Structure 1
Amino acid sequence: MVAECFAVEKLRTYKREKKSEVIDWEEISFPALDTITPSDKPVTINGRIFEREVHRVYLDGGSACDIMYEHCFNQLSPAIKARLNTPKVPLVGFSGERCWPIGEVDLDFTIGEPPLSRTETLDFIVVRSTSQCNILLERIAMMKIGKIVSTVHQLVKFYTPEGIGTLVSTYDREKVIMAIRETDKRPGECILETRKEDSSKEKISINPLFPEQQVTIGGALPAEMKRKLRKLLQANIDIFAWEYRDMTGIPRMLSIDETIFSTEQKLNDYKHLKPIHQKKRNLANGRDEAACKEVEELLQDGIIREARYPTWVANPVMVKKSDG
């Protein structure tokens, strides 16, 4: 899938001015369906961002945010790209998959040709994904611009101070199919690969004294957010238990609002129930040594103490954790 951003004019110095536009909200109508052949094709248009022509702008009334794909964003001037802000929340897809965007940026988007043109400031979310489109406009953007889309007519009508503007969809099925086939021949990121990144995890070390003990964070987080998260965790390494002696234990009695609570637990002993005494089972090779080592460390650090229960006896079960 190929997406393009064409520049027809050199970028000019642009100063945004707030203008009080008076729009005559007259009725918008489309031709009767019995006079045309209804269409089921997507509706795409051309637009301008700070005097730069942008092709293949897809109008999606079901989307909740304005999307600009990275290949289109990279065609903009350095001055505009410098306005990119760090994203605060991820994007969520139909099936709940999450994807962290590259950033967010507000840009002036223009449709139509003077005098029947309309410019509005839209908040774009820049994402890294392969698409035949450059921009995806959602329902809020359509509302701000005053656009009414008719798929069956392949027309877009919108309000301007000088009257009603009309755009014909630029969608070319054969051209898009060729673009998709050409893109499939080239290596690149696709939507499915992006979703895999969203569910990936990354392990980082935050305590130089215990480099083998790592903390797991989301692999799809932006680099700046990863750096801040690592710094936050390193500043609070004292709240983690890096070894058994760091576990201070729980007091046997707690006072909450002047009420004393006991934290001790014990097995209920019912006289009508017969105690269960499991037969001794030998652990597999290697597990016996590991169990003895863990018990010895727990005893030395005061986490456990020796006790004898001749009537209730259960064999230990060793389970290897995913982190080793």
Structure 2
Amino acid sequence: MEISPSEIAEDPNPVVGLSGEATMTLGTINHSVKADSMMKTMEFLVIDRPASYNAIIGTPWLNSMQAVPSTYHMCLKFPTPRGIKTIWGDRRFSRSRVAEALEGKRKPTCEHVVSVCLDEAFTDRCVEIGANLSESLKFELIACLKKNLNTFAWATEDMPGIDINITCHELNVDPTVKPIKQRDESWDPSALAQSTTKSRNLSKSDPYRKLGILTGSLTQSL
């Protein structure tokens, strides 16, 4: 939406999605929303993430507009000085936007990060933070990490007193059952030689063709 960073009031807060993933907001911004002849100024949370919508209008705007939405009819009705107005949704457009959003999610995006050393005495004690953070937020974040440096476990010696049941792994088997040794497979020399010869011939004639390998008495495709 080409919003200038100077218009954003810095107030980072976590926003949790349906998947449980938390995203930090950049802050808030007051933006005008026009519906027909009605104009309302609303506060929006600003998030620097790919999304299928430019803005999501919630309950505060609906209440201020005295609007009544209907998801079944895909419309929104609200009173104006010139009577009741209706905004209709476009089902085909909505589906195309959802498809574009899903297509974008299939392409993973990697956020630029920078490495920050938290302990000058140990240069390997580093963490990565977002490179696009504002200078003030970056300064506060680094100060908080350095202040709580002892919270991090940099080595196994930093984690004393852990229950042995957590650090020790075992096979989930019944100890009362007697183990059985698997018998050796009996290979037929003639069948093995025939399969090897056939595979070599196929490889020479068409090296891009998928070959089969003999496993026991079955032949499976690579």
Can you list the C-alpha shifts for 1:170-192, whole angstroms capped at 9, x where unaligned?
414167428845994xxxx6399
- Check 1:130–1:229 CA distance in 2 against 1; reply closer, same or farther (3 A cut): closer
3-state SS of the aligned residue for 2:7? coil
Identity of aligned residues (%): 19
Structure 2 residue 120 is the aligned partner of structure 1 residue 208:
yes
One-letter identity of the residue aligned with 1:94 = L
Aligned to 2:18: 94
Inter-CA distance 91–111: structure 2 relative to 1 (3 Å threshold)? same
Aligned counterpart for 2:64 among listed residues 126, 144, 150:
144
Distance verdict in 2 for CA 1:108–1:124, change over 3 Å = same
Give TM-score, length-normalised by structure 1: 0.37
Residue 39 (structure 2) aligns with: 119
State the shift of 1:217 in Å: 6.9
Q: Which residue of 2 aligns with 1:309?
A: none
| Partner amino acid, structure 1, of 2:142 | R
Structure 1 SS opposite 2:45: strand
How far did 1:138 drift? 1.0
CA RMSD across the alignment: 4.2
Residue 128 of structure 1 deviates from its aligned partner by 3.1
CA distance in 2, matches of 1:232, 1:154: 47
- Give the letter for the 2:49 counterpart: S
Shift of 1:227: 2.5
Q: How many positions carry a matched residue from both structures?
A: 152
Shift of 1:226: 2.8
Q: C-alpha deviations, 1:107-152, integer Å up to 9, x for none?
A: 121211xxxx222221111223333332211122211221111223
- Amino acid aligned to 2:34: T
Give 5+ residue unaligned stretches, structure 2: 152-156, 158-166, 169-222
Distance across 1 between alignment mates of 2:66 and 2:116 = 49
Three-state SS of the structure 1 residue aligned to 2:96 is: helix
1:156-195 pair list within 5 angstroms: 156-160=76-80, 162-173=81-92, 176-177=95-96, 180=99, 184=103, 190=105, 193=108
Q: Aligned pair 1:108/2:32, yes or no?
A: yes
Paired residues of 2:33 and 2:41 also in contact (CA < 8 A): yes
**RCO higher in 1 or 2 (8 Å CA, sep ≥ 6)?**
1
Task: Please tell me whether the aligned partners of residues 12 and 26 of structure 2 are also in contact (alpha carbons under 8 angstroms).
Answer: no
CA contact under 8 A between 2:14 and 2:23: conserved in structure 1? Answer: yes
Structure 2 letter corresponding to 1:107 = H
Letter of the 1:211 counterpart: T
Which has a greater percent of helix? 2
Give matches, 1:1-324, under 5 Å: 72=1, 74=2, 78=4, 81-112=5-36, 117-160=37-80, 162-173=81-92, 176-177=95-96, 180=99, 184=103, 190=105, 193=108, 204-214=116-126, 216=127, 222-224=133-135, 225-233=137-145, 236=147
In 1, Cα distance between equivalents of 2:18 and 2:100 = 25
TM-score by length of 2: 0.51
